[in-house]
């Protein structure tokens, strides 16, 4: 035999319960022992509540949705110069370099500097590798220490990267990429 469905009557005991009554499943009892029907909360006003501080509210053109007026630049040349030069990132601290050295240990050299030395094509390749990887290892084929140091300095200046470490013929460079933060640095 199929189970019999009970129809719900529209009495006070079938109303939705709130608060303690919802947790226990029993309607609230009054002081006199009788069950009280649960009352609905009063409806809120359609208007939003007024702000406490008048200074925080928008006034004038901002409240009307008009665009903000800007001040004319005092010196057009200075404004153009600030737009052209991006803000220089802070140099790496010793702790940050130490942190990055741990990552460079496992990396293989991405750029190999051959007999021709540092060329424009090599510098462009280094810039692309730094943008993609952030941390790049470079292997130099030069035997002379001074010329290796000069090549490393030339690559560092042109790319704008930080020199993390140099061991023998291998140098590691780091340049932050704000879009792809692969190596979060300690402070």
Tens digits of pLDDT across the chain (187 residues) = 677 766 655 555 555 556 655 566 665 555 555 555 555 555 565 555 555 554 544 555 455 555 555 555 555 555 555 555 555 667 889 999 999 999 999 999 999 999 999 999 999 999 999 999 999 999 999 999 999 999 999 999 999 999 999 999 999 999 988 888 888 888 8
| Contact indicator for 185, 99 with CB cutoff of 8 Å | yes
Domain boundaries, the chain: 94-174
At 135, list the tokens. 């941390």
Element holding 140 (H helix, E strand): strand 135-140
Residue the block writes with tokens 């925080």: 56
User: Strands, DSSP E only, in 50-120?
Assistant: 111-113
Please provide the distance, in angstroms rounded to a whole number, between the alpha carbons at the two ends of the chain. Answer: 73
Element holding 94 (H helix, E strand): helix 94-104
Residue 3's pLDDT is 72
At 48, list the tokens. 């939003």
| Contact indicator for 111, 125 with CB cutoff of 8 Å | yes
Q: CATH says 94-174 is which class?
A: alpha beta
């Amino acid at each position: 035999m199929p189970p019999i469905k009970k129809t719900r009557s529209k009495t006070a005991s079938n109303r939705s319960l709130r608060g303690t009554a919802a947790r226990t499943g029993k309607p609230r009892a009054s002081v006199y022992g009788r069950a009280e029907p649960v009352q609905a909360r009063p409806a809120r006003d359609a208007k939003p509540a007024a702000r406490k501080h008048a200074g925080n509210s928008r006034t004038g053109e901002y409240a009307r949705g008009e665009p903000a007026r800007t001040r004319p630049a005092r010196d057009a040349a200075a404004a153009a110069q600030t737009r052209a030069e991006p803000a220089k990132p802070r140099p790496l601290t010793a702790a940050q370099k130490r942190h990055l050295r741990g990552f460079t240990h496992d990396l293989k050299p991405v750029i190999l500097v051959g007999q021709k030395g540092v060329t424009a094509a090599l510098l462009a390749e280094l810039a692309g590798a730094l943008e993609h990887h952030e941390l790049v290892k470079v292997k130099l084929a030069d035997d002379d220490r001074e010329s290796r140091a000069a090549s490393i300095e030339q690559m560092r200046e042109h790319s704008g990267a930080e020199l993390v470490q140099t061991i023998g013929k291998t140098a590691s460079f780091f340049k932050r990429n704000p879009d792809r933060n692969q190596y979060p640095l300690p402070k």
